[in-house]
Structure 1
Amino acid sequence: MPRSTTPPPHRRRLSLLALGATTALALTACGGGEEGGTDTPTRSEDAAPKALITEQAAKKVVDTYELTNNRANAKRDAKLLSTVEWAQVHEQSKADYKQWETWPEKEQKEYTAPFSYENREYLIPSADSGATWFAVKARSSEDPKGEGALIVFDKVGGTFKVTMAVYADDAPIPEIAVDKNGLVSPADPSARVGSLAPDQLGAVYEDFFETGGKKKAADAFVSTKTSKGSIDVYRDGPDDDVKKFATEKYFAKDPAHPKVYALKLANGGTLALFPTAHTQELMLKPRYMSSFDITPTEEEGLYDSSKRDVVTDEFQGQGLAVLDPKGKPRVTAVEYRMVDSR
């Protein structure tokens, strides 16, 4: 999935029946990836450690991803895309395909235009590391001057597929630790690095949406542009015209695909890609429930067009964080997609 040119995540315009009041919330965007082979090099007993996959084979995986992804995007073919993409990023791609018809023509053209990953840096672990995945640091041809993305290719049913892809919005992707053989070292997602473990990031981060970070997130993370943006979503709530009639709340949710990926950094820290999710609930205040209904937005109506007292949207996301062994983690990017509305 190429990065969407505008952030669909909390792009909601909800109207009260007979009132015409609207509200809009915007958040993030999303990135993509695809398939390939499983070719690995051989070595003698005295040779360097064997890599999980050769760089030549990894290049073929990424090339196949680009080709298949571009073909799938042109037709919004989720089945074709599933041959090279899975997990959180595929949840987001499917949402893009479903909601594509509601986008402005300019966005549709940009999304379906062919793209490629440039300036690739292959991050490959050893075959005996226990990892089933490798990563690629690259820039999209859509944004060649941007900070770039980190894309994970994991084994799914014996085939390498993109399972996570996050663009580094806040800061450059830090230097990954590479040994003398050019191999990277995966980190244990359940091992604490400083104040949190990589697999704890998503659940704690969602507190920014639920409480504005007041319960735990504000104290758990270093403040970043990304985290401030999430707090703004919590604070903004519905538009002023809607606030009189409805409340808006967020609730943390288990990600559709919980696997976390982590790599050791050259400075001793850890870089983590983590899944995250929440629901967003717009509910009429009790005194208005007998008189009004909420009319879903065009995007929401694709899932459930009925007018109702409560509109609940589900968002599946991905995040990028740097964990400091001597301090708090910094979340430098989060990308969400609305994947359901009911």
Structure 2
Amino acid sequence: MATIKDVAREAGVSIATVSRVINNSPKAGKASITSVHSAMKKLGYRPNANARALVSKNSSTIGVLVSDISDPFFGSLIKAVDQVARVNNKHLLIGNGYHDANTEREAIELLINSCRESLIIHAKALSAEELIGFAKEVPGFVLINRYIPEIADRCIAFDNFKGAYMATEFLINNGHKHIAYINSNHKIDDASERKAGYLQALKDHNLPCPAQYSISADSNDEGGKAAMIELLSKNIPISAVLTYNDFMAAGVLSALEENNIAVPAQISLVGFDNGLISRYVHPKLTTINYPVEIMARQATQLSLKLAKKEKYTPETRIFSPTLVKRLSVSKNYSD
């Protein structure tokens, strides 16, 4: 039996377009209507009552797209969205994008089918042009952790460059000159912006930044551990390490412990995000605070206001990082 996905594939359009045609939406173009009806006839597809109601019935839902729901960072984001949603008698539908353009696109289209008014989207792989197109289609479409100038009024973002710069400068001010950076291997803005902040801080303080001090890996504890082992194998002087996130820092701690290298006595360490794990590793991790819960609540409030066509100006559109000082950094006198 043919499905709505089969129809979309046969017609060469998105699932959202098929839904618009089925529901007689005025946004459906003539060419789309013709191709969808032709595909439905060819495949013998007959939309049922549920399919016809996909777009029209669910103004009581908010769609949320994250990269990976199993990541505690995105768990915090979802919980914050849900807190605002419940106050407004809304329910959540959640999709995973996995930093993959096709997966993000399909997830957004499916969410549009069920949540035609409000979407909170964390999408890193899709082009700005596609996201702008989705924003035109959904009145409450809001991007979180990404800034696109053309839809700046739909964006709640974070200054990743400043966060990495701040962390690197903190290490420099503590006497460190040989600072390694372990980055995420995802090809996303966060990774490039954080690396740029690290490099700029070194440059501004007239410190060398050889390529061998920067390495990319999976953005989890195993990736951090493997990257630290690789750095140690290079036999280069390292007095401090900055990581893309706190989970990578936890992996770095594991690698250093296994090699009898004390933190912070021999190597200082700074993470990023201020996740729950940063408070419970040993030593407790100095890190950069990423206010994801505040950002998510504000994004949800913005989405709901936009969906109702009500004027609303968020208190902050681009959030700034703050340094959280704990026990993983010490003064360095040997560099």
TM-score class, shorter: under 0.3
Q: Which has the larger radius of gyration?
A: 2
> Which structure has more RCO (C-alpha within 8 Å, separation ≥ 6)?
1
**Superposition TM-score, scaled by structure 1 size:** 0.27
**Superposition TM-score, scaled by structure 2 size:** 0.27
